[in-house]
Chains A and B, each alone.
Chain A
Amino acid sequence: MEKDETTKLPQEELTEIAKILRLDILKATTRAGSGHLSSSFSSVELLTALFFNGILRYRPDEPLWPKRDRFIMSKGHAAPLLYAVLAKAGYFPKEELWRLREAGSPVQGHPILGKMPGVEATTGSLGQGISLGIGHILGGRITGKKYRVYVLIGDGECQAGQIWESAMAASHFKTHELMVILDYNKFQEMGPVSREMGLEPLIDKWQSFGWYTAEVDGHDIGAVTKKIHSLQEIKDQPTILVAHTVKGKGVSFVEQDYTWHGRAIKDPEQYKAAEKEILCG
């Protein structure tokens, strides 16, 4: 039997990993003096479930293993989270994180394909990840390789026309191997999504485009894992997990405050407070 290439850690360790990821994101963005802290915090549990709770199949020592599952960070500004996860998964030493956004560093402000192992796509212009995922799947069908593709998108990102072009194409091609995870934190850069450019009824939109939908509390690692496993059973349709999240989750004064978008914590007192909240949280 082929080895199960997923990583599955015990429940206590997963909560610990989520803490470590938040601390790494905090430290990396503060050292860089900028970076999307709140957007990264929002998706921590989602990626913890994917990478460390028996879902994604990957080999950190063979990043381009042809049969690996793909994870595409379509909301590329959450690069600090992606890098923290990849380091934790063993793709590269954690020390690289402390060079986030530095000239000459492979840990770029937004993910660039080919600069860091484990990064599957160049992103940072929102709206493109699902299309890339469809391409990986159609390609895999031709080359005869079986893998799944997971794409993380933001809710503000759903305003992009290309999201809906790709939504149409995914159901046309019946890409059941594709799962989109929507970080539904209800905020974009300039404010609440409902105020800036409303998306509701969002579930209906995806369903009417032919997608199988499910909803979950995006900070409950166990619940997220369960839902993803059940969505993997769906045939003939792409699936989307709409994860209700809190932007900035884990640090109370960042949570739900959209003015933190794209900002790092620079004040040393605030930094200490944030660190403490994450550790105790």
Chain B
Amino acid sequence: MRLGERAGLKESKPLRDIFGDALLEVVENNPKVVVLDGDLGNSTKTELTRKAFPERSFNIGIAESNLVCIGAGMAGAGLIPWITSFSSFLLCNGYDQIRLSVAISNLNAKILGSHGGITLGKDGPTQMGIEDLALVGGLPTVVILVPSDPVTMHKAVKAATDHVGPVWLRSSRIAMPYIYPQDQEFIIGKAITTREGNDLTIIANGMMVAAALDAAVALQEDGIQARVIDLHTLRPIDREAITKAAKETGAIVTAEEHLLHGGMGSNVARVVAENCPVPMRFVGLADTYVESGDPDDLLEKYHLTSSDIEAKAREVLAAKGETA
């Protein structure tokens, strides 16, 4: 079954295409925005902007450390750079540069880490970003955004550009279905309660939000009301929404297309442990690299489907019953 089908969500184009459209709009509307590419504009979809605004587009080439610092220099010169490439290449070749020139410098630079997660599929583990959120997590001043649908991606690009300070935005190769209406509010740091429910809460980001909604529909057939929270901002984390969910539903499952180690779930757990300890379960990648393959095959093999969320939900409900 297609992602979001069970929840009745409408199909859309790949998330990276939405990013490309939104970036073009931002560049059109703000003369200060410049776009830097690491020879991947056809994959990240910055090529749209390059066609329309060649004078504000720069391909720095296959040289990510140089790319990051040139972008940071432009931020220092008063512009708003969007520094773009695959998250794997930016973080793994440009980490020290991001750390010093963007994060510690607290510059107004925006970084697009595209091809996050495993759903880039066939290119395999050297290209995947399964650790991007953990790595950006190590850069304390950087806001981290992981949109889940076309509407929030579009708004995230605008919000990131308007925000003063460093922002990391995760994009993906797969199509994420429409979850929200066009007028959905998107505020950095404010999670969206996508579905109400009081039996347990599924906290998800990125494509796992749609999967969580699919799981919630399946659970509902058994009379279980799952709340679904879209934690699109990993930092600053919405402590209030998480604490409220823990208090009101008493059980939490997190779901992310990322390593469990250092990802969203572990950050949510920190808040839950501090404010209102309740049973938790985690959907994500165990300590492993994922191989090449068709995205759907990989999601299934590495347990990132709505059925996996559903199973964890039943598990956490059992644990909640025992503790009650």
- Please list the residues of chain A having a beta carbon within 8 angstroms of any beta carbon in chain B: 32-35, 76, 101-105, 108-110, 112, 122-127, 156-157, 159-161, 188-191, 196-197, 259, 261-262
Contact = CB atoms under 8 A, between A and B. Distances in A.
Contact of A159 (B41, B62, B92): B62
A102 B292 contact: yes
B124 A112 contact: yes
B288 interface: no
Interface stretch (B23-31, B243-251, B261-269, B294-302): B294-302
Interface residues of B, number: 32
Contacts of B43: 189, 262
Contacts of B123: 34, 101, 109-110, 124
A189 B126 CA distance: 17
Contacts of A124: 123-124, 126-127
Nearest to A32: B122
Contacts of B291: 103-105, 108, 112
B39 A123 contact: no
B294 A125 contact: no
B79 interface: no
B193 interface: no
Interface in B8-56: 37, 39-43, 47
Given A103-B298, A125-B92, A188 B122 contact: no
Given A103-B297, A103-B301, A125-B93, A35 B62 contact: no
Contacts of A122: 126
B141 interface: no
B55 to A, nearest CB: 15
A159 B61 contact: yes
Contacts of A35: 122
Given A109-B292, A189-B42, A190-B41, A101 B124 contact: yes
A159 B59 CA distance: 11
Contacts of A196: 39, 59, 61
B271 interface: no
Nearest to A191: B59
Contact of A125 (B121, B126, B293): B126
Contacts of A188: 39, 61-62
Contacts of B298: 103
A156 B124 contact: no
Contacts of A104: 291, 293, 297, 301
Nearest to B37: A190
A224 B188 CA distance: 57
Interface in B269-321: 291-294, 297-298, 301
15 contacts: A101-B122, A101-B292, A103-B292, A103-B297, A104-B293, A104-B297, A109-B122, A109-B127, A110-B124, A110-B126, A156-B39, A189-B43, A190-B41, A197-B61, A197-B63
Contacts of B121: 101
A161 B124 contact: no
**Top 5 A-B pairs, shortest CB-CB distance:** A103-B293, A124-B126, A197-B61, A109-B124, A159-B61
